[in-house]
Every structure is written in C-alpha cells, then in structure tokens.
Amino acid sequence: MRVIGGIAGSRKVKMDNSLTIRPISDRVKQSLFEILKYDIVASVFLDLFAGSGSVGLEALSRGAKEAVFVDKNEKCTRLIRANLKTLDFISAEVINADASRALDVFSRQNRKFLLIFLDPPYEMGLIKNILKKLETSDILLENGVVIVKRHKKEVIETAFTLVKERFYGDTVLSFFKRPAK
C-alpha cells in the first residue's frame, strides 16, 4: 500500500495481510482525491470504517488539517497508528469503536467535519444506518460532503442530495450534500 499524492506521495505504508479488509484501489483513490482537490486543503476529514487508513492518510498527505479514523477492529487501528507514525502525521486521531457509536460521541462533543468518507463492508445495511444517523446529527458542516464507497448493486436511500457519482467496475463513489433549505 502507498500514498499516491501530496507531501507523502509515493511513500509506502504497512499493510497487514491477515486483515479481512478491501483496500481501496489506487485508481479509485486517485479519482476520489481528484474530485476533492479543492475541498481537501485545511479540511477536517472523517474516515469511517477506516480499515487500513489509506483514505485518511491520503487526505492528510494532500493537505487536510486533521483526519479522524474510526474502525472497530483493533488490528486496523494499530496499523493506522503505525502508519501515522511512519509518515510523521500528528494531526490525526484514531478511534477503536463502532462507527455508529463514534458518531453519537462526535455529536455530543459538537465536533464538525467537512468531509466524511464511508467504506463499510458491502451489503450489510451499514450504509443506510450511518447515513440516517448523519442526516439527524449536526456533525457534517453545512457545506460538507459525505462520500460513500459501495458496491454497484447496493442501493442508497437517503435524505441527502446526490451531487455526483462515479463508477469504477463494481465500485461506486457517491457524493452527497445536505438538501438545500
């Protein structure tokens, strides 16, 4: 695994092959950050279901002010911490917790994010539950974006407005904003 662009571009980071995660492909990651290039700088980035942390690490490399990584697998959070240390990224927080519970805590703490990236295990209903929680919370900034990485067969029902969608084989990136008032 490697960071593609930004200050840590081309640097390799550790990957634990014993983890049962689907790392984002370089092609999809490159496309994602090409789309976000004007929003990423100085943003606060939330990487839910972070897995290897590849997306949040890329966000930090490309100028995010802070990245928060959430994953309930302790091996994943240890790997993310090790990679943050390897890359000398200090403006990050790694949380070993269920994504839904983490959102509750962020809401109580009045934390705000400009970019929220969701990459849950496919076809388990997690996208629907997390989007519903985000719809009713105030952690997404008014001009914020929720990005969902999903399998093309997964259908998303949400009150958020779909603003962009990109297809890469079986993988889809869907970009959502709050509906206009």
| 143 is a domain residue | yes
| 50 is a domain residue | yes
| 142 is a domain residue | yes
Containing domain of residue 169, as a range?
6-177
pTM over 0.75: yes
Residue 94, pLDDT score: 98
Confidence of residue 22 (pLDDT cuts 50, 70, 90): confident
| 73 is a domain residue | yes
| 95 is a domain residue | yes
pLDDT tens, position by position, 117-169? 999 988 788 999 999 999 999 999 999 999 999 999 999 999 999 999 999 99
3-state secondary structure at position 78:
helix
| 109 is a domain residue | yes
Per-residue pLDDT, averaged over 25-48, amounts to 96
Residue 19's CATH number: 3.40.50.150
| 1 is a domain residue | no
| 102 is a domain residue | yes
How many domains does one find in the chain? 1
Tokens of 20: 């049962």
